[in-house]
Amino acid sequence: MDEKQRRERIVQYLGIKPINHGQVYTFQIAIPESEVVAIPFERHEQLKSSFTEQGTNLIPLLVRRTEAYSEEEEYEVVYGADWCLVAKELDIDKLWVWVFDMTDEQAAAAKEEMQQLVGYSNSDEKSRDEETDIASLVEQKVRPIYAKLNQLISNSSSHAGKIDFDDKLREIENKLENLSSAVATLTSLLQEAIPSKLNLLIAQEKEIKSMLEEVGANDKQKEAALEAIKYWRNPGKDLTWENLMKSIKSGEHKVKNFGKETYQKLKQIAVIRSHS
């Protein structure tokens, strides 16, 4: 399959039903059993260092909505399982994700295409430590390339005549070109699919109702969403996604008819961003 065909399949599988882009709690993301594998040491340290410096992942993972796991695990990672594994290990609170609706077949195909675009090979264990996925490359920009160049320079100094520096440099440049192409393709697809969102801290009721209607909310859901927003806007309270989740569960903050589906629809149409 040539590059053009792979890109067309990315459009087909990742362009199906983009639901939302934002942060979700790490505990909400399930990792398929087949993806729970040992991460090579160098890769693990790279991800650990990134989380330590940034506090989260700067480039979203690909996930899909699911009911196949526990009640808390509302999403399943499609691409980026190693990031999830390390995030759970380090107790990272939230991760940036793109949420899609995908069948098992579509998820498997999307993952396969992403791996092909970044030059991944399941059969080549030796190269696995050297491969950098899309999120890592963009997040750290060209830092891995500089690190590799420094390593090559060091090796060429200590093992003169044993390493063809020019060949290694061309290999790195080719990897960077392929990964940059994949990033551009995926970013273009996702940005086109995601509409602008309301800021719930300042949005008017009419705006919120209109946007909720566009994503299929019924009258009861719209009224419940407005009540929940109004409740957390009150003096002494704080309108955040975490607090809105409290209004789903029974207790003092429970809002009648406000459930997970209504919460997810709000996440589709809005953000909560302070201007101060």
pLDDT digits (tens, 9 = 90+) for 209-235: 999 998 899 999 999 999 999 999 999
Same domain, 34 and 109: yes
One DSSP character per residue, 16-78 reads S-EEEEEEEEGGGEE--GGG--PPPHHHHHHHHHHHHHHSS-SSPEEEEE-SSS-SS--EEEE
What are the pLDDT digits (tens) for 115-136? 766 554 443 444 444 444 444 5
Quick one: 56 and 176 in the same domain? yes
Number of domains in the chain: 2
CA distance 99 to 78: 10
Same domain, 228 and 182: no
Among 41-45, 96-100, 191-195, 196-200, where is mean pLDDT lowest? 191-195
Do 166 and 255 have their domain in common? no
If asked whether residues 164 and 229 sit together in one domain, one would say: no
pLDDT of residue 262: 92
- As a whole number, mean pLDDT of residues 85-112 equals 88
Which of 156, 171, 193 lies at the terminal end of a domain, its last residue? 193
Same domain? For 84 and 184 the reply is: yes
162 shares its domain with 204: no
Are 39 and 89 within one domain?
Answer: yes
pTM of the model as a whole? 0.42
Is residue 276 in a domain? no
Q: What pLDDT score does 162 carry?
A: 46
Same-domain check for residues 189 and 218:
no
Looking at the predicted structure, is the pLDDT value of residue 187 above 90?
no
The pLDDT confidence band at residue 1, using thresholds 50, 70 and 90, is low
Rounded Cα–Cα distance for residues 28 and 36 (Å): 16
Answer with the one of 193, 223, 243 that is the final residue of a domain: 193
Q: What CATH number is given to the structural domain containing 63?
A: 3.90.1530.10
